[in-house]
Structure 1
Amino acid sequence: MRDTDELRALRDFEAGEPPLDDDTRRRVRARLFQAMNGPAPAAVRPRRPVLRIALTGVVTAAVVAGVLVAVQHDDGTAPGGTAKRPATGAPSTTAPAMRNVSAQTVLNGAAAYERKHEQVVSPRDDQFIYTKEIIKETEQKTGATKSHVDETWRSVDGSQRSWIMEIGKGWWSEPLKEDESMWPPQDWGTLKKLPTDPEKLILAIQGEFGAKARSLDDIDDQEWSHIHFSLAGLLKLVPVMPEGLRPAAYEALGMVPGVKAVPNQQDAKGRTGVAITYDDPTLPEGATGFGGYFIFDPETYRFLGFRDTRTSGDGAEMKTYTQLSYLDSWAVVDKAKQRP
């Protein structure tokens, strides 16, 4: 079973139902780990792959000293501010969103934008990173739309229980055991150890699931597929990162063969942007991998949000949803369930 099938097992359950029980999650994680890593060697360092599917992104945040790190919203305004709306009207064929542009241009532009606007955050180990995500789901067959507000409090050093939400469902996530690890890493200490050079980041990720390559030229299609899976997971599931890591991840994503730009894509707020997606050569024709669409402003390359799909049920009862999502705000707080 491919890693995308295993992700479906984790994410494809209706809103309002309880989260998967621990035994089910362990079984799914075990199968996903085996699918990602191939035949298991005699001794394997336990790993936990991407576990959550709530779609997360990055916004520019204003950071202030003190107990709370101040929040800034996705539209670029501070709380209580007024966003400037673009002029209405259909885009012309010469509008930036309609022009042909390479994926590397978009992602390098996103990295440059992020380096210019990112704020240095240094949370204490005993604190929590709070995120508020907005997810808009539309059932493709009926057109019925429902919005979810997911609020998460994740322990900075991973030593305390975290409160996790996915499409409206929440539960307490226990700290990892000593022999466990997770990709993407969620604790600040592990994130700070990841390279902020894009090529070194790729090689570090590749070394997690195979014999470490000496250069990007040594990486084959299957390994690139795993690398894309890992980079997409890092960018989607870790909304707050140490300085320099997100720009490096954007640039690294631009180096993955098969990553492409798709113009004229709308985000959850109706803005037209240019999207980045991935044609995975290791998947059967017509199959889609993990990652969906990363949508960027076509002029500034500021990240706008995600578009993805989710399915629930089986056979004739299967429903397919289009998900549009963005990170509304984030902050650093002193305890779980504390809002900024």
Structure 2
Amino acid sequence: MSDRGIDELRTLREYDAEAPPLDNATRDRARARLFAAMSTTSATDRTAARPGRRPVLRIALTGGIAAAVAAGVLIGVPDHDKDGDGARAAGPGTSSPVMRNVSARTVLNDAAAYERKHEKAVSPRDDQFVYTKEIIQETNQETGARKSYVDEDWRSVDGSQRSWVMEIGHGWWSPPLQKDESMWPPQDWGTLRKLPTDPEKLILSFLHKTGPDDRNDSLDDITEQEWSDIHFSLAGLLKLVPVMPEGLRPAAYEALGMVPGVRAVPNQKDAKGRTGVAITYDDPTIPSGKGGYGGFFIFEPRTHRFLGFRDERTSGDGADMKRYVQLSYLDSWAVVDKAKQRP
């Protein structure tokens, strides 16, 4: 590993941001993914660096190490909202008139259609920054204590300049990637622009972890473990890249709906208290009850417009274990010329 990779791992280990340490089970899952990444990654591979979710540091490490470290920090919450497709039937409808027994694929295809109709085309220059403002609410499940954060990021469009990034109120300068470093899923627009906007081709790109790919593979040949990895990449793309080139987010929604194990759960509250239908994922490659990456993607129950995310974080062991629910949504975004410049 490069000196920078070691430094970033040290940063990740020492990072606090008022967040309690990981519990043992979470560390075990992260450690397992770390060893798996280390054993399958060569120095020249552009392997999948699994993205984290709040409050994980969203930093790029060489190879597949960042993904493995970040993978275990957040776990899926119990079924509340959202509905999914992917060979799993949704539960029966509730007494709410807007809640329907609808498949995950239906929700995600509708979300894709809504996005295509309403998305704002944007073509930032390589020397610009994408500004995003995100609102996060974190609630202690036992005490009900709630904390709110406003996170503002300025990400270099082509990754050549340092970016300002925040995680639950803690901000820092993230240096640009070096020539021997890469990030997967990608966040630089040069790579994002090249990703296919056809959902099947997007899945195959994530299968090979190489970006655009012309190989004529069949989705029928994808293994259970590969589907788990594909889901991780799709969920990471949708969570970590709030602003994308035109057509990519709709394709990612449709691709997510094709992942076996993705399902819909009704009556999920978002950060604004709105009741929606959620999409979550039952990962068959991890023990039942251990949770998985992705949490809930919450959608408006009629139009299936995307509302926000719900995740759960744990800390401590045994009687000292604490559980936190995190709700978040994108408040605003813009393309600006300088880091720290507000629109």
Q: Is 1:53 the equivalent of 2:53?
A: yes
Query: Which amino acid is the alignment partner of residue 271 of structure 2?
Result: A
| 1:109-188 pair list within 5 angstroms | 109-188=110-189
Could you tell me how far apart the structure 2 residues matched to 1:318 and 1:213 are?
48
C-alpha change, 1:94 and 1:148, in structure 2 (3 Å) is: closer
**Contact residue 13 and residue 313 of structure 1 kept, 8 A:** no
1:11 to partner: Cα distance = 9.7
Number of equivalent positions:
286
1:34 to partner: Cα distance = 4.4
Q: Which runs of 5+ in 1 are unaligned?
A: 1-6, 19-27, 56-90
In structure 2, the residue matched to 1:279 is 282
Could you tell me how far apart the structure 2 residues matched to 1:105 and 1:333 are?
36
**Contact residue 310 and residue 323 of structure 1 kept, 8 A:** yes
Could you tell me how far apart the structure 2 residues matched to 1:213 and 1:54 are?
36
C-alpha change, 1:303 and 1:45, in structure 2 (3 Å) is: same
**Contact residue 41 and residue 47 of structure 2 kept, 8 A:** no
Could you tell me how far apart the structure 2 residues matched to 1:94 and 1:146 are?
29
C-alpha change, 1:10 and 1:232, in structure 2 (3 Å) is: farther
**Contact residue 129 and residue 154 of structure 1 kept, 8 A:** yes
Residue 15 (structure 1) aligned to one of 14, 17, 35: 17
Query: Which amino acid is the alignment partner of residue 245 of structure 1?
Result: L
1:49 to partner: Cα distance = 1.3
In structure 1, the residue matched to 2:80 is none
Q: Is 1:231 the equivalent of 2:234?
A: yes
| 1:245-264 pair list within 5 angstroms | 245-264=248-267
Normalising by structure 2, we get a TM-score of 0.77
Could you tell me how far apart the structure 2 residues matched to 1:11 and 1:278 are?
28
Could you tell me how far apart the structure 2 residues matched to 1:239 and 1:330 are?
8
1:43 to partner: Cα distance = 5.8
1:285 to partner: Cα distance = 1.2
Normalising by structure 1, we get a TM-score of 0.77
The percentage of aligned residue pairs carrying the same residue is: 71
C-alpha change, 1:30 and 1:177, in structure 2 (3 Å) is: farther
1:47 to partner: Cα distance = 4.0
Could you tell me how far apart the structure 1 residues matched to 2:296 and 2:309 are?
6
1:95 to partner: Cα distance = 1.4
**Contact residue 184 and residue 209 of structure 2 kept, 8 A:** no
Query: Which amino acid is the alignment partner of residue 40 of structure 1?
Result: T
* Greater displacement, 213-222 / 110-119: 213-222
In structure 1, the residue matched to 2:67 is none
1:16 to partner: Cα distance = 3.7
Query: Which amino acid is the alignment partner of residue 335 of structure 2?
Result: V
**Contact residue 165 and residue 171 of structure 1 kept, 8 A:** yes
Could you tell me how far apart the structure 1 residues matched to 2:174 and 2:30 are?
15
Q: Secondary structure at the match of 1:39?
A: helix
C-alpha change, 1:268 and 1:43, in structure 2 (3 Å) is: closer
**What are the superposed Cα offsets for residues 54-105 of structure 1, whole Å, 9 maximum, x if unpaired?**
48xxxxxxxxxxxxxxxxxxxxxxxxxxxxxxxxxxx9725122x2100000
**Contact residue 213 and residue 219 of structure 1 kept, 8 A:** no
**Contact residue 54 and residue 165 of structure 1 kept, 8 A:** no
Residue 335 (structure 2) aligned to one of 317, 321, 332: 332
Could you tell me how far apart the structure 2 residues matched to 1:240 and 1:184 are?
14
**Contact residue 51 and residue 236 of structure 2 kept, 8 A:** no
Query: Which amino acid is the alignment partner of residue 333 of structure 2?
Result: W
